Amino acid sequence: MNYTIEFEPSGIRLVCEEPLTISDAARRAGVSVRSECGGKGTCGKCIVRVRNDKASPVSEAEEKLLTADQLAEGWRLACRTVVSGDVSVYVPVTSTVEGPVIQLESLAVTLKPVTPIRTISLAVPPASLTDQRADLQRVADALQQYGVANAWADLPALSSIRTALREGDWRIGVALRGEEIIDAYPGTARSPVSLAVDVGTTKLACYLVDMGTGKVMAARGAMNPQIAYGEDVMSRLAAAMVDPANSSSMQKKLVEAINAVAGELCATQKLEVKYLLDVCLWAIRPCITCYWACPCVPWRSHHLCRRSARHWRSMLACWAWMLRRVPTRIYRHPLPGSSDQTM
């Protein structure tokens, strides 16, 4: 039987089919509720007021962290309170996640961009009765003069090649990663654009970079949505260990946040998102774990603890290969005494 949870003062409503803690319901509804302890019921920061009696009995943690007067007035801990019927929940300002203050300014340093992506403008002979080569073969032959001997493309790129050739009157710009054509555009190719992302514990800093000049075109920050699962990284890893579904949820929310900021940055430059060809992601190891939704178990008990650093680099390289449309480079903190920072 469906029931409704209404969050005040925002007025957001969530229709549920199964019993949920108020914290879980808030995450699903997009309501920001503090969770410094990751839902363990130890920080006491997620205090909310339940308007009726459709909630679970008061827990031991609530008796310890809330006064008798607070409990009598309906104040509960969102992470400890399970609701299963129509209920109204008041979320005070003190229990909401504050908007981030993010420092995006940095020293102006001239750098020579290094990217696996390059763009080339081509004038391709049009198809005719005497020249019936396939579109990909036609483009691959034209690329040979630029040192690309065996150009190839996957299905999405093949579709973009076909469209670009005809819309651009057989003049197109192609984006390549090595010898792979990853996209094509009608007309002249433009300099590749990259997204640089610093994934912090609580905040995201995103920069749109012209990889031809190294110039930062735009910058924008956002709150790391994983904060709903804990203020610190260890709380989030603990949440992932308690319920593997939390790992997938954290990954999804982080990717959605990065995609949203990327779209906003492109909009400020009147740039279509399809021209964003490279992503460079920097994060500490636990954030990388959450980004890839890797298994979160005590390290000593996991069979992968015997794997070498080379094995992990190979595994991440395979995962990055699957993101064929937007190549992703991963940076992490190096081990003591090691200068290797790239996976």
pLDDT greater than 70 at residue 110: no
Domain that holds residue 124: 117-186
In angstroms, the CA 54 to CA 242 distance is 26
At 135-169, the pLDDT tens digits run: 999 999 999 999 999 999 988 889 999 999 999 99
Of the candidates 56, 60, 49, 61, the one whose C-alpha atom is nearest the C-alpha of residue 83 is: 56
Kindly state whether residues 277 and 297 are assigned to the same domain. Answer: yes
Q: Where are the beta strands (DSSP E) in 97-192?
A: 117-123, 152-153, 171-177, 180-186
pLDDT tier for residue 72 given thresholds of 50, 70 and 90: confident
In the prediction, which pLDDT does 176 show?
92
In a domain, 199, yes or no: yes
pLDDT tier for residue 205 given thresholds of 50, 70 and 90: confident
In the prediction, which pLDDT does 331 show?
42
pLDDT greater than 80 at residue 85: yes
pLDDT tier for residue 304 given thresholds of 50, 70 and 90: very low
Q: Which two tokens stand for residue 341?
A: 């920072």
Its sign, for the CA torsion 184, 188, 191, 197, is negative
In a domain, 306, yes or no: yes
Beta strand 12-16 with 3-8 is antiparallel
> Who contacts 14 (Cβ-Cβ below 8 Å, separation ≥6)?
4, 5, 7, 25, 28, 29
In angstroms, the CA 273 to CA 261 distance is 11
- Count other C-beta atoms under 10 Å from residue 293's C-beta: 19
Number of domains into which the chain is organized: 3
**Range scoring the smallest mean pLDDT among 36-40, 74-78, 285-289, 329-333:** 329-333
In a domain, 110, yes or no: no
**Range scoring the smallest mean pLDDT among 26-35, 173-182, 192-201, 317-326:** 317-326
Kindly state whether residues 199 and 178 are assigned to the same domain. Answer: no
Cα 229 to the chain's mean position, in Å? 15
pLDDT greater than 80 at residue 46: yes
How does the average pLDDT of the chain come out, rounded?
78
Q: Which two tokens stand for residue 255?
A: 């990717």
Q: Which residue has the higher pLDDT, 151 or 228?
A: 151
In a domain, 272, yes or no: yes
Kindly state whether residues 205 and 324 are assigned to the same domain. Answer: yes
In the prediction, which pLDDT does 112 show?
74
Q: ∠ CA(333), CA(334), CA(338), 5° rounding?
A: 165
- The answer to whether the peptide bond before residue 9 is cis (omega within 30 degrees of 0) is yes
In angstroms, the CA 249 to CA 26 distance is 13
In the prediction, which pLDDT does 148 show?
92
Kindly state whether residues 9 and 52 are assigned to the same domain. Answer: yes
Which amino acid, 152? W
The values of phi and psi at residue 55, to 5°, are -135, 160
> Who contacts 281 (Cβ-Cβ below 8 Å, separation ≥6)?
197, 199, 291, 328, 329, 330, 331
Kindly state whether residues 83 and 51 are assigned to the same domain. Answer: yes
The length of the chain, given as a count of residues: 343
In a domain, 179, yes or no: yes
pLDDT greater than 70 at residue 90: yes
Kindly state whether residues 178 and 197 are assigned to the same domain. Answer: no
Its sign, for the CA torsion 224, 227, 229, 231, is positive
In the prediction, which pLDDT does 171 show?
93
| Residue where a domain terminates, one of 145, 160, 186 | 186
Give the domain CATH number at 16. Answer: 3.10.20.30
| Proportion of the chain above pLDDT 90, given as a percent | 16
- For residue 342, what are the β-bridge partners? 331
In the prediction, which pLDDT does 8 show?
85
Q: Which helix (H) or strand (E) holds 257?
A: helix 244-268
pLDDT greater than 90 at residue 174: yes
Q: Which two tokens stand for residue 321?
A: 């290969």
| Residue where a domain terminates, one of 186, 206, 225 | 186
In angstroms, the CA 11 to CA 239 distance is 28
pLDDT greater than 80 at residue 334: no
Rg, the chain, Cα only: 25
In a domain, 111, yes or no: no
In the prediction, which pLDDT does 96 show?
78
Kindly state whether residues 204 and 311 are assigned to the same domain. Answer: yes
**Range scoring the smallest mean pLDDT among 19-33, 101-115, 146-160, 314-328:** 314-328
Kindly state whether residues 208 and 327 are assigned to the same domain. Answer: yes
Kindly state whether residues 240 and 167 are assigned to the same domain. Answer: no
| Residue where a domain terminates, one of 186, 202, 226 | 186
Give the domain CATH number at 168. Answer: 3.10.20.880
In the prediction, which pLDDT does 138 show?
92
Give the domain CATH number at 292. Answer: 3.30.420.480
Kindly state whether residues 174 and 199 are assigned to the same domain. Answer: no
Kindly state whether residues 250 and 178 are assigned to the same domain. Answer: no
pLDDT tier for residue 107 given thresholds of 50, 70 and 90: low
* Three-state DSSP string of 157-175: HHHHHHHHHHHCCCEEEEE
Decide if 205 contacts 9 (C-beta within 8 A).
no
Decide if 20 contacts 85 (C-beta within 8 A).
no
Kindly state whether residues 57 and 125 are assigned to the same domain. Answer: no
